[in-house]
A and B are shown apart, each in its own frame.
Chain A
Amino acid sequence: MSGYFKEIFDGGKSLLVGLGITFKQMIQPVVTERYPRTAPKMPPRYRGHIDLVRDEEGNNKCIACGMCQRNCPTGCITIKGEKPEGAKKKVLTFYRLDFTTCSLCGICVESCPTDALEFSKEYNLAGYSAGDFVFDLLKRCEERRR
């Protein structure tokens, strides 16, 4: 019989302890980030997919050396460059990033000799087909210029 009352007492006590925690949480500040209504700011070292850096005139700094393409462990970068008639340097004509195989290791950003690559702040990508995430970075760079 004594075990019966002890069980009731223990059960009641644990209920009160649990409710105590609930009430304590109720008066504490809200931790939920109301995402679609308020957007968080990504920290400076956040890694989104890579993007071409723009200089002061809005051009890219890429010299089409192909270091990023060669160093990429998953081969998600394809670049093409050409030397215009009479020019000294190669000019980037095509930069494709297949983000669906990227693992954001950052070797491309590290190996770039002219620091022409950076991580973007894209953090909420979602789409209806996998092809949506094959980016033409040169086009993106020009779109941001406008």
Chain B
Amino acid sequence: MTNLPKDLKQLRQDDHPPVVHFAVLDKLLNLGRANSLWPMTFGLACCAIEMMATGASRFDLDRFGAGVFRPAPKQSDVMIVAGTISRKMAPAIVTLYEQMPHPKWVIAMGNCAISGGPFVFDGQYGIVEGADRIIPVDVYIPGCPPRPEALIEGLLKLEEQLTGSRRFPRVDPEAAP
């Protein structure tokens, strides 16, 4: 079993920054990456049901180029940690993350992946309290579980982080028709 860090400190976001930068080429590559974020087929708990719903025809992640769920970490760009991380599963997640080629991103989907959610209490021993304790996380999506729209919003946030601008309009839930 891997030794999990005990402190609450969040891990660094990019643990392997590129050695050589090409200004314009990097921007172009990031534009390509942002519009083809291939996630890994990887669900841990009930949030994975919402992730599947997002990939299906009603919400259709393919509209954002992110619907190609890859069965192998070698082929994927983004890991959607959807669900509770048990201490027994944690080493497998770290292995899968390390098997993904750079550049790679992690989305923590749902309250369990963000902080352990309802499983956090004094003396609990079975749950990792947040994906950011074991791997660096880029985007957090709260909810129990989050709606498919929230997952789409999270992917758009990741796109925004990569390209520096938002391609799609923002949605204000209070002002919805």
Contacts and interface: CB of A to CB of B under 8 A. Distances in A.
A26 to B, nearest CB: 13
Nearest to B168: A36
B144 A102 contact: yes
B111 A39 contact: no
Interface stretch (A11-19, A55-63, A119-127): A119-127
Contacts of B139: 126-128
Given A33-B59, A126-B157, A103 B117 contact: yes
A121 B152 contact: no
Contacts, number: 121
Contacts of A24: none
A39 B111 CA distance: 23
Tell me what chain A mostly uses at the interface: helix, strand, loop, or mixed. loop
Interface size class of A (residues with CB under 8 A): 20 to 34
Contacts of B132: 130
Nearest to B141: A126
Contacts of B171: 35-36, 39, 124
A41 interface: yes
- With a 10 A CB-CB cut-off, give which of A121, A122, A124 has the most chain B CB atoms: A124
Interface residues of B, number: 44
A93 interface: no
Given A102-B111, A103-B111, A127-B139, A121 B169 contact: no
A143 B53 CA distance: 34
Contact of B111 (A32, A36, A101, A123): A101
A100 B117 contact: yes
B142 A133 contact: yes
Contacts of B116: 101
Contacts of B161: 128
B154 A126 contact: yes
Given A35-B59, A123-B173, A126-B139, 16 more contacts: A35-B152, A35-B171, A74-B120, A99-B142, A100-B115, A101-B116, A101-B117, A102-B144, A103-B117, A123-B150, A126-B153, A127-B157, A129-B10, A130-B114, A130-B115, A130-B130
